[in-house]
């Protein structure tokens, strides 16, 4: 049995006043994160924020690529891309 998962392209904007999903920017989902881009804190906050927004455990959302870039690829376990879009309302 294979586990359902998908990858989501994200453009992360750190140091925002609050964490919020902004919307689509081309093929990537733009997300503002309140944490600073320092020592991986914004990456951790991004994964935690997405997990909370998708009603998933923290371990289900991991950074697959782009730990030092604003352009990131996030792996989401347990949902298809269509389900992710539906849950985020975007």
Grouping H, G, I as helix, E, B as strand and the rest as coil, residue 54 is: coil
Q: In sequence order, what are the residues at sequence separation of 6 or more whose Cβ sits closer than 8 angstroms to the Cβ of residue 73?
A: 7, 8, 9, 10, 63, 64, 65, 66
The per-residue pLDDT for range 1-13, each reduced to its tens digit, is: 458 999 999 999 9
Between the alpha carbon of residue 61 and those of residues 21, 52, 54, the distances in Å are 15, 10, 9
Place of tokens 């919020």: 20
The per-residue pLDDT for range 43-54, each reduced to its tens digit, is: 999 999 999 999
pLDDT at residue 78 greater than cutoff 80: yes
* Percent over 70 (pLDDT), the chain: 98
Place of tokens 């998962």: 5
Radius of gyration of the chain (CA): 12
Domains identified in the chain and CATH numbers: 5-88 (3.30.1200.10)
């Amino acid at each position: 049995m294979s586990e359902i998962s998908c990858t989501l392209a994200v453009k992360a904007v750190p140091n925002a006043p609050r964490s919020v999903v902004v919307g689509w920017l081309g093929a990537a989902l733009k997300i503002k994160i309140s944490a600073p881009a320092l020592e991986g804190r914004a990456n951790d906050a991004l994964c935690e924020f997405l997990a909370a927004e998708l009603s998933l455990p923290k371990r289900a959302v991991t950074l697959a690529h782009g730990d030092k870039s604003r352009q990131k690829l996030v792996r989401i376990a347990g949902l298809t891309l269509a389900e992710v879009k539906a849950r985020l309302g975007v």
